[in-house]
Chain A
Amino acid sequence: MSIQTELTRIINAKSAIKTAVEGKGVTVPDGTLLDGMAALIESIEAGGSVVCTYGSFTPSEAIKLNTSTTDPAYVVEHNLGVVPNLFFMAKFNNSYVGSLDLFIVRNKILGAKKNILHTAAKVAVSGSTSYYISSSNCKGWPITANAMPIIPYIASNNCTLSTQQYYWIAIGGLT
């Protein structure tokens, strides 16, 4: 490529950056050089918009959840980009009504340690097959900006994800 081609490419990229930064509510003064863009980008206020991803999955056969291994038995890759505030997971069973399970992710500050622990509690509990997302007992499986581990309530429980279709919605940016 020629020098002119490269210069044109850089000029166009700077113009695109200027447009994008101003689209986020930050004014780019005339004459701002490329090396001044970083500071303007950093001044963009974080948050302010609610983000949401959704999807579904169907296990090929029942997935037995457990807390005895290093990795959780199943992880939902929600790819939200932030730790979700709410995570809804629903299983629709055609044979009967009432198989809707809701999970509310909460940020729990742990006392003097001031660690943010993301836990989620299942609103509807159904006996020995109860499961939920992450746990204060399973610190190795955090809720992250891209993934939600599904683990059982109690290590001794025989918890499974059945071969039905599970729908999920991850919502973030609420706080």
Chain B
Amino acid sequence: MRYYARYSDSGKLIVVGIGYGGTEITEAEYNSLLSEIREKADLVNKLYSGEITIDEVPAGWQEEIQRRVDERIAAESIAEEQDISAEEALNILLGGAT
């Protein structure tokens, strides 16, 4: 089993995974990074839903968690405004055949 992490050009972690690609890491590193990813995702969900406040987020993560919540809110606002044409709807139904 090959574990890997993929980073952006600026060194930011993009994904962790199993299989090909990225930079090979150990299973322990993979589990550690995966655990952190899931913990942060949980905090984002909780902050978004109002279950917690930003003060309850570990200090080192507050900026990131708040940014991700803000982005999520912004993205959902954009999604609500979107409309698709009949042609786009047909393209979806045909699986991109047109």
Which residues of A line the B interface, CB within 8 A? 53-64, 74, 76-79, 108, 119-122, 125, 128-130, 132, 135-137, 153-154, 156-158, 160, 162-164, 168
B12: nearest residue on chain A (CB-CB)? A60
Give the residues in chain B near A137, CB-CB below 8 Å. Answer: 96
Given contacts A58-B37, A61-B40, A163-B41, contact A128 B16 (CB under 8 A): no
Given contacts A121-B95, A163-B41, contact A157 B16 (CB under 8 A): no
Given contacts A59-B15, A158-B79, contact A136 B37 (CB under 8 A): no
A160 to B78, CA, bound (A): 13
Give the residues in chain A near B86, CB-CB below 8 Å. Answer: none
Contact between B82 and A128, CB atoms less than 8 A apart: yes
Give the residues in chain A near B78, CB-CB below 8 Å. Answer: 158
Give the residues in chain B near A128, CB-CB below 8 Å. Answer: 79, 82
Contact between A79 and B92, CB atoms less than 8 A apart: no
Which of B22, B33, B64, B88 has the most chain A CB atoms inside 10 A of its CB?
A: B88
Give the residues in chain B near A108, CB-CB below 8 Å. Answer: 97
Contact between A54 and B19, CB atoms less than 8 A apart: yes
Contact between A153 and B17, CB atoms less than 8 A apart: no
Contact between B20 and A130, CB atoms less than 8 A apart: no
Which of A58, A63, A64 has the most chain B CB atoms inside 10 A of its CB?
A: A58
Beta-carbon contacts under 8 Å, B7-47 to A: 12-22, 33-34, 37-38, 40-41, 44
Contact between B96 and A58, CB atoms less than 8 A apart: no
Contact between B14 and A60, CB atoms less than 8 A apart: yes
